[in-house]
Amino acid sequence: MIVEDEAGLAERLAEAVVAAGFVADRASDGVEALYLGQTIDYDAVILDLGLPKISGLEVLRQWRAERRQMPVVILSARGTWSERVEGLNLGADDYMAKPFHAAEVVARLRALIRRSSGNPATKLQQGRVSIDLVANVASVEGTDVDLTAQELKVLVYLMQRPGRVISQADLAEHVYGMSDMRESNTIEVFIARLRAKLGREAIRTVRGLGYRMDGL
């Protein structure tokens, strides 16, 4: 989620994040951000401090008080050391002052998401399948596989959670933004395509619950 009240800046950030292979929801004030962060399990949040209605620091304070654990990068023009310290003490994971380079924000997001998933490396490996998270390239036994952006998102999410059963609803939430149109069987289609490209044994179905990668 990108929380920024300056529309032009939010748009540029969203473009950079989407180009890097992520899905980006946007919030333009503290009330909206607080609600979305309370109801959706985001992989990471870019949070501006100077927000209308509720400040970014207060939004962060309430998220952490409610034990919302998604990684948060504070982004603000306020460059004083005291606000930086306060944000980190409230539970922020990183801090960037404006102006900034979008590529650096994306790199920091990737690093935070890797660490929060328990795998700080830039490459994921499950059995014969591997993904270079920087280049956004998947391969099987060293041979690159041509995946669509959505297929890659599904595969990355599964591979970052080896052995865990992931529901269709959870996958859809991390593949699509709030405003995206989606069909009811879209995740089933993506899984079928991935199996055709990676091998049927790569992704297992747990009937009635979802999908799992076991590293076979």
**Which range among 70-79, 128-137, 150-159 shows the weakest confidence by mean pLDDT?**
70-79
- The pLDDT tens digits for 152-176 are 989 988 988 888 899 988 888 877 7
Q: Is the dihedral of CA 182, 183, 185, 188 positive or negative?
A: negative
3 state SS of 176: coil
107 and 113 Cβ atoms separated by less than 8 Å:
no
User: In angstroms, rounded to a whole number, what is the distance separating the alpha carbons of residues 17 and 10?
Assistant: 10
Looking at this protein, which amino acid is placed at residue 68? Answer: R
Q: How many domains does the chain have?
A: 2
Residues 104 and 10 in one domain: yes
94 and 73 Cβ atoms separated by less than 8 Å:
yes
Residues 131 and 36 in one domain: no
Residues 147 and 48 in one domain: no
pTM of the shown model:
0.71
Residues 13 and 108 in one domain: yes
69 and 99 Cβ atoms separated by less than 8 Å:
no
